Homo-oligomer: A and B are copies of this chain.
Amino acid sequence: MAHVSLITLGVEDLDRALRFYAGLGWEPSAASVEDTIVFVRGGALVLALFPRADLAAEAGLDPAAPSGATMALAMNVASQDEVEATVEAAVRAGGWIARPGRRADWGGYSAYVTDPDGHLWEIAHNPAFPLRADGSITLPDEA
């Protein structure tokens, strides 16, 4: 089922971004990794606050390009095979591969694709973030 599990926002300053989202009622998760990535939960969605340069590197974007407000929507799926099948479906439907699938240092497997307008999607299998029936993810401290 099509869904959005998580939205990664590229930020210049993790603390500043966390203060903003905490001020709007988003709850920092203990699954966050200090000085690396901050997860905040709101309803069925998780926002990941992640340094913009790290997101560009991870997603295969040109770090020298004018970045605008870089973000990536993420669709978490159940397996590495499902990542590849979703990437193939995206390409058949008119999208582009930004960064091919590969094993991730966080223990899963992911790829980045763009839609025909350049909107960035991460297609990910993360065994540490179990999927619920509606496509939302469970963070490790919520299990």
Contact = CB atoms under 8 A, between A and B. Distances in A.
Contacts of A67: 68
Interface of A: 1-4, 7, 9-13, 16-17, 19-27, 40, 42-45, 47, 52, 66-71, 73, 86, 89-90, 92-95, 114-120, 134-136
Ranked nearest first, the 5 interchain pairs of A and B with the lowest CB-CB distance are A23-B93, A68-B68, A3-B43, A2-B42, A2-B25
B66 A12 contact: no
B9 A26 contact: no
Nearest to A5: B43
B1 A42 contact: yes
Nearest to A91: B23
